[in-house]
Chain A
Amino acid sequence: MKMHHLRIPLLTCCFLIAGLLTRTPVFAVESIAVNDIVLGIVGETEFEAGYALLQNHPISWEDDVDWSITVRSLDADLGMSDGGLYTKLLSDLQWKLSTESVWIPMTQSDTEVDSDVAGSGVIYIDIKVLLDWVQDAPGSYQADLEFTIAPV
């Protein structure tokens, strides 16, 4: 193939690359890290209170562009009781930023946790699981949660 046959593709590629490069920063550096959320074994105190609580669970983040962190559950519920007769609702798992006061029930849709400008740091969330003497039969309840950081 002669060089002049490559002119158009080459120019187009240059055009494309130049276009992408002008939208700085092209290569956003993002990371997010969240440990497992383990509430352990609940007892009489938690049932009397009506919930089990885990406070100040850290979410480490880094981003070189303005960002937003969202959370969603990958599971539709918190699982079944030992006897298999009761399925604990996903919405019994609630969260909030530790600095906020309004609890938000967990869903399978991405819900914004926080947003800020570029940088790095740690945000803290509180986790609460509603407990009910009559409903919450013995069992191991769990769900996989996904935290996502993305440019805004």
Chain B
Amino acid sequence: MSHFSKRILTILVFLAIATGGLLLHPYAVWAANDQSAFSMSVPSVSSITAGSGTMFFTPVLSELLAGETTPQDLGLTVSTNVDWVLTITGSQATWTGPWSKPVGDIYWKYGAGDYAALTTSPAEVTTGGPVEEGDYPVSIKIALDLVTDEPGEYSYTYIVIELTAP
């Protein structure tokens, strides 16, 4: 290659570079950024509701003769993001009323199971895993006795329903 050809080639190369520089978008490399760390903590979260929160029994003669009230459903709804055990407990040993009606006159059962007398110690009702608004049929009935259950207003507070860890 002659000296002249080399010079021409050099000129062409530089012209190509210069043209490339002109065509470059000058902002393309001038971006700024900032990083932001997103974080969120999810603990064990549980929610349990029991109907209206209050149950009313108004026994009629047939129920008194039968020795028990018509059962009522507690209307338990559970939402939780962890495994759980549902327990039921009576908070007091006796009712408030004309006489000290025992907590054991309250009977509960889960689903198609058998009735059990409520005690002041937690009894396991059922277990489960994460659930959203799961309905759990727990029935409550009251044992009645024509001899001992004098007429009057009886109240019992509280039937305690708890979700605990397995």
Q: Is the CB of A134 within 8 A of B39?
A: no
Binds A, one of B29-37, B57-65, B85-93, B137-145: B29-37
Minimal Cβ-Cβ distance residue in B for A14:
B18
CA distance in complex: A30, B32 (Å): 6
Q: Is the CB of A9 within 8 A of B14?
A: yes
Q: Is the CB of A65 within 8 A of B27?
A: yes
Size of interface on A: residues with Cβ below 8 Å to B: 58
Q: In the complex, how many angstroms separate the beta carbon of B145 from the nearest chain A beta carbon?
A: 41
Binds A, one of B42-50, B67-75, B98-106, B112-120: B42-50
Interface string of A54-69 (1 = CB under 8 A from B): 0000000000010000
For residue B31, which residues in chain A have a CB less than 8 angstroms away from its CB? 30, 148-151
Q: Is the CB of B43 within 8 A of A41?
A: yes
Across chains A and B, the number of contacting residue pairs, with CB separation under 8 Å, is: 156
The chain A residues found within 8 Å of chain B, CB to CB, are 8-9, 11-12, 15-16, 19-20, 23, 26-28, 30-44, 47-48, 52, 65, 74, 78, 81, 93, 127, 129, 131-151
Beyond A34-B34, A37-B38, A144-B36, 10 extra complex contacts between A and B, CB < 8 Å: A40-B40, A42-B43, A78-B38, A133-B45, A138-B81, A140-B41, A141-B42, A145-B37, A145-B38, A147-B35
Closest 9 CB pairs of A and B: A151-B27, A150-B31, A19-B22, A12-B14, A133-B132, A16-B21, A39-B40, A148-B33, A34-B36
The chain B residues found within 8 Å of chain A, CB to CB, are 7, 10-11, 14-15, 17-18, 21-22, 24, 26-27, 30-47, 79-82, 130-133
